[in-house]
Amino acid sequence: MKKFHIITNSYKDLELINTKYIVEYLKERGCFASFELTDLKGENIRFSKELIESDCIIVLGGDGTLLFAARKIFGMNKPLIGVNMGNMGYLCELELNDIENALNNLIDDVYDMEDRMMVQGEIFDNSQKMKSSDFALNDVVIHRGGNLRLLNFIIYVDDVHLCTYSADGIIIATPTGSTAYSMSAGGPIVEPRAQIILLTPINSHTISTKSIVISAQSSITVEIGEGRRQKIEEAMVSFDGKKPIKVSSGEKITVSRAKNVTRILKMSKISFLKTLHKKMQEYI
């Protein structure tokens, strides 16, 4: 690789010390390197010439920054690698104390590449007209709004009714997203190369609160149910933590595997389970 574009979370590298160091190091090795800044929401990532022509995108920040970068370059088939400047950093493999060695490996094409499954979601109104669509690398979360009461979520898999949850929300997660919100809600941790979709309720008011593992070949539909006395309820839908979209009773959210993937570069030969063990030990 010879052309690199860096996306830096400006809140993580306030004076751009690390960003500028990486740019200069790459240039000294005869590479082209450019960078741009993004905020915590990642909304201002541009489709610049430098990004489009790059061989690899290096993300400085945390997992959230990498998620937003993955969404922004969806369909461009460009590999990403994250430098962890956040907390747990399941997605961001690199650490600043080993950045030179990692950059050398990138230049010399010494790395592995993993294709991570993404999901696409479509929101339909009561007339079955699609009013919004988006993609996610981690998860699609459907949750109650400001009212402190449970909502009814009617779940269909391949148009067959599966169950109805009375809960605060529903998380539809990819294997990559299994270590995020779904895990916090009691869902299982899944090897990121697996081809499945997780369905995890949030604070379900039922006897069974277990996650459901569904084939990636299937399509999941969540209908927002009515409240007591046929009251119209409102919920919110967010894709990888993006600004939520309001939905109401009778409207449906359909989630399925996306055609495109996110390509994540891997330097370490350590298995996912060993990496997971290390991360969990750090935060006990």
| Binding annotation for NAD(+) | 63-64, 138-139, 149, 168, 179-184
| 225 three-state secondary structure | coil
Q: Identity (one letter) of the amino acid at 187?
A: G
Residue-wise burial string across 229-248, b where 16 or more C-beta atoms lie within 10 A, e elsewhere: eeeebbbbbbbbbbeebebe
What are 219's two structure tokens?
């399509």
Q: Would you name the residues annotated as active-site residues?
A: 63
What are 68's two structure tokens?
């937003």
What are 133's two structure tokens?
């669509």
C-beta of residue 80 within 8 angstroms of C-beta of residue 263 = yes
Known binding-site residue numbers: 63-64, 138-139, 149, 168, 179-184
Tell me 94's DSSP state: B
Q: How far apart are CA 91 and CA 78, in angstroms?
A: 16
Q: How far apart are CA 7 and CA 18, in angstroms?
A: 12
Mark out the alpha helices in the chain (DSSP H runs). Answer: 17-28, 49-53, 63-72, 99-107, 181-184, 272-282
